[in-house]
Chain A
Amino acid sequence: MVIIDSESAVILRLRGPLELKCQLDSTDVVFMQKAISTAFEALRLQVKSKSCVLAVCDSPLLIWPNKCVYEEISPETPCEDIFQWIQTNDQESGGKRTTKKKNRKCFSASVLNFSLMTEVTKPGPLSAPILTKTVQRSHFLCATLQVDCAVCSSCSDPIKDGCGRLLEALTRQLFEMEKVFLQHMRGTMVLVPEPLHFLLPEPNGLVTVVFPRDLPDKELEAQRRELHKQFELPDDKPYFRRANTFHFPNEPYKDGYLRNPHAVLTHPALDNGKVYLVQGIYSYHHYMQDRMDDNGWGCAYRSLQTICSWFKQQGYVERCVPTHKEIQQALVDVGDKQASFVGSRQWIGSIEVQAVLDQLLGVTSKIMFVSQGSKLASKGRELANHFLSEGTPVMIGGGVLAHTILGVAWSETTGEIRYLILDPHYTGAEDLQVITDKGWCGWKGPDFWDQTAYYNLCLPQRPRVI
């Protein structure tokens, strides 16, 4: 809903591969489990040893946390000072940010990435190596554990405390990985554990869960139910599906689309007004993307794509965002259009959007009809309620244009209203600066609408599932 500006916090994130290798002495389960536990214990000892090194990514900084050696800095250096050492490209998922935001919102900019390394050199002299050969018919386990720990810290915390917490988190994660590993061992079949981070509503915050890597969401429902109970979360909204994993602020998205461009805007402050926004993450889809020239006719398709991207990223569906052809084919499949529709450049409207959402995603939508654009100003309460209870982006079509509404600012007392619009008619590159400066994503007044045309709004309803 509303982004609360909490005290300046920084996320410390540690990642790295750890090799798990051991000979499984017999097919006796107890012995095998013991061998695996021993291997995990060795990894935990490695993490506590003097040869454990944390490297600050994209910087020359190296830390030996168990030896209290801090290259270039001191243990008391506050976390926020570490950022000065980082050499970045200043590019964010394809879009350029030329103005840096001065006040750091919680989780909006500050992530300090570390990578886990091992020092293999030691002061000598030391003993020459021994080769040990064990001959025995048995099994051999070889797996790579991708550890991923995240802890929250205050900007002014000394770095040594942050590192200490990271290592504790890492040790705990290794215990959990061991547990998940042993639980899913069946004979010689194993499931490799994988840590995932989820951002839960206050007071829980950022939480790390270890799931078996290769199990799909639908086989983990029981675990999710357990977690919802543990964290006292509503049982009609997914928080622990793989799509819900927390996206760390400075990681670019591989697909190149911008996420939530509205997040950088300053929201209007109306008298006695409140801001009601889309809940969750969507991608900005617009003209000319994906090498598809739909300039002049594809605006509703793009709005529909934005809506589909929301359902995927919240974990409700696994299906990829549909292409124009797939959207058209879906309409043919439900009997709404003739077969010749596919490959054409025909417009679609809210009703078609509703039909496609149902056909491809299994999502139902409500249609709101407004006889004149001027009457949209009176729909403040309804739109506010939609964003409160559903939180989905809204497609609005009327006149000759389609847009996406991402939120409203509405005052119950004065009736003043503003609409947060995501415009699919943009034909440029994924440049956040341009998109927000030029208003392709921005707050509009009631005069934005054609006052005499009629409008249909498609309000997608979110499924009540976890």
Chain B
Amino acid sequence: MGRSYIVEEDVEGYLSKLCSQLTGPVTGLLIGQSSVQRDFIVMATRTPQNESADAGKSVDKEWVSEHARQVSRMLPGGLSVLGVFMVSESDAKDTLTTLRQFLFSVENLISSEQLWMPAEDDVKDCVTLHINPKTRKTVCRTFDVKDPKSVAKPADWKYQSGVCSSWATVSCWLNIDLLVPLPGSITCTKPVDDCLKEELKVWAQQIERGVCLIEGKKLPEDSEIKTGQKKNVRQTYTAQLLITPDGQMVPDVVQQCGGSLSVRGAIHSRAFLHSNKPKAKLAEKLLKRDIISTVATRVQMLLEEPQTQTEENKERKQTEQFCLPRRVFCPVKATSPLCVCDYQFSDEGLSEMTDRFKEMLDIEATEADLDITQELIAEVIESDAKAESLTEEAEPPHPWRNNYIGVAMATAVALLASAASMLYLSDA
């Protein structure tokens, strides 16, 4: 029994348009959400032109994969690249082989960037779609992308209206406060990027283990987020996340370092679920993945920027601050709660955002369509970073009170008189 793809009507129009263009074969990505029972495709986007490639040369899989990687960063939780399509007159069998190659390359590249753990119940099938522009014949096949030997399986491809309309949204704003040492001793040659990435992995595990509340409640796994809601009311839910550090993970040490890196601030996270009784467990999984991805993506983007590489002057203390780009949302369609997103650096304007939405996702958006209200642009403080305080108003410490009933409670401190064996990492 093959998979069944329910596809937004607009996608049919989009693919049709691509068919009627007379240029050579066109490839692109299919975006949506997969679940155990059904798969939904909400949009399609063609692979952008490769300016540097020779004209007439067929699209190569590196280019398609790179496009997919960038698009994947622009998709909030719940939406992902589900497959690739090709509009071409070539034989279906040849196209299938090419599409299969593209598909595996795309999935490998996207999953190599993921910091979250894959789950048992994740759907492992992705779709390839081939449309012959002359005959309009559509061939839809799926492959298990975790199995390099998998064969094509037939799948249903059905267009329907309103696929983009009935989605539930779960979102939150989340504080992040990371501090990681920079390698400093001569023996340690780990680059800065790796230190930060390792810390992000630890942080990602904390997030995955965290307790997730939806609308203030911890719901049992199989329950739905909310029942009794009218179908046409926009379903938006606020989530909360509670975490604890893992006591076992980090050994207690004092180590030599060449400095430190801190990431402090907040992010807005959003995940979409195709509603028709959205399950709490799925909402939690998708939101957590979005939280992890949005932070990892921004850190990655910042590290890729040239100005973060600095010269090291070993004697003086140098402090530099860089703003992570902020998240900006753009609706997929006017009548839909679905959004895609992008990241705006402080030196970029909104026009650059709309350009990117057009180039990557083939979305025509105006500056007015963009939602820039979810995150504020961070302000870099010139003085020491410690001046920036994330904690709220705190009362001064209470004077010690002794008002216990029955049994008195006292505390004491042990004083050490002699030197003792200590816990440390030697400098050597």
Binding site for B on A (CB under 8 A): 6-7, 9, 16-19, 21-25, 38, 42, 44-46, 48-51, 53, 55, 60, 62, 71, 106, 115-144, 146, 151-154, 157, 165, 168-169, 171-173, 176, 179-180, 183-184, 186, 188-192, 202-212, 214-215, 219-220, 222-223, 226-227, 230-231
Contacts and interface: CB of A to CB of B under 8 A. Distances in A.
Interface string B204-232: 00000011010011100000000000000
B290 to A, nearest CB: 13
Interface string B303-317: 000001010111011
A133 B415 contact: no
Contacts of B391: 42, 45-46, 49
B378 interface: yes
A133 B216 CA distance: 36
7 contacts: A62-B213, A131-B308, A142-B255, A154-B406, A169-B409, A204-B408, A220-B414
A190 B424 CA distance: 6
A215 B423 CA distance: 10
A133 B317 CA distance: 10
Given A179-B413, A223-B416, A129 B266 contact: yes
Nearest to B302: A131
B394 A183 contact: no
A22 B181 CA distance: 9
6 A-B pairs closest in CB distance:
A129-B265, A124-B173, A205-B407, A126-B266, A140-B181, A223-B414
Interface of B: 172-176, 179, 181-182, 184, 192, 210-211, 213, 216-218, 239-247, 250, 252-268, 295, 298-299, 302, 308, 310, 312-314, 316-327, 373-380, 385-386, 388, 391-392, 394-395, 397-398, 400-401, 404-425, 427
A202 B413 CA distance: 20
Given A129-B265, A168-B398, A190-B422, A7 B242 contact: no
A128 B327 contact: yes
Contacts of A165: 404
A220 B414 CA distance: 8
A188 B254 contact: yes
Nearest to A107: B407
Contacts of A6: 406
Contact of B254 (A132, A190, A220): A190
Contacts of B302: 131
B423 to A, nearest CB: 6
Contacts of A207: 409-412
B253 A214 contact: no
B322 A17 contact: no
A117 B405 contact: no
B415 A154 contact: no
Contact of A121 (B173, B317, B406, B420): B173
A391 B362 CA distance: 84
Nearest to B176: A129
Contacts of B380: 130
B375 A126 contact: yes
Given A129-B378, A219-B418, A18 B254 contact: no
Nearest to B407: A205
Nearest to A72: B217
Contacts of B321: 130-133
Given A132-B321, A133-B259, A127 B405 contact: no
Given A140-B254, A183-B415, A127 B377 contact: yes
Contacts of B427: 188
Contacts of A171: 397-398
A27 to B, nearest CB: 11
A135 B410 contact: no
Given A125-B173, A126-B173, A227-B412, 5 more contacts: A118-B244, A128-B323, A129-B267, A131-B323, A134-B318
Given A17-B247, A120-B175, A126-B266, A142 B252 contact: yes
B244 A186 contact: no
A49 B373 contact: no
A11 to B, nearest CB: 9
B174 A131 contact: no
A192 B252 contact: yes
B267 A210 contact: no
Nearest to A192: B252
Contacts of B318: 133-136
Contact of B423 (A42, A135, A191): A191
Nearest to A164: B398
Contacts of B243: 117-118, 120
B244 A116 contact: yes
A245 B412 CA distance: 14
Contact of A153 (B174, B213, B324, B405): B405
B262 A19 contact: no
Contacts of A137: 184, 256-259, 314
Contacts of B409: 151-152, 169, 205-208
B268 A134 contact: no
B407 to A, nearest CB: 3
B132 to A, nearest CB: 46
A74 to B, nearest CB: 15
B414 A209 contact: yes
A130 B265 contact: yes
Contacts of B218: 60, 62
Nearest to B380: A130
A7 B325 CA distance: 60
Contact of B417 (A51, A106, A128, A222): A222
A49 B217 CA distance: 21
Given A16-B244, A118-B242, A120-B243, A128 B324 contact: yes
Contact of A184 (B263, B316, B398, B416): B416
A141 to B, nearest CB: 5
A45 B376 CA distance: 25
Given A128-B377, A207-B409, A214 B421 contact: yes
Contact of B400 (A118, A172, A180, A183): A172
B397 A223 contact: no
Nearest to A208: B411
Nearest to A154: B405
Contact of B240 (A119, A130, A131, A214): A119
Contacts of B418: 219, 222
A444 to B, nearest CB: 35
B250 A128 contact: no
B77 to A, nearest CB: 14
B239 to A, nearest CB: 7
B250 A144 contact: yes
B51 to A, nearest CB: 31
A62 B254 contact: no
Contact of A135 (B263, B313, B379, B401): B313
B404 A151 contact: yes
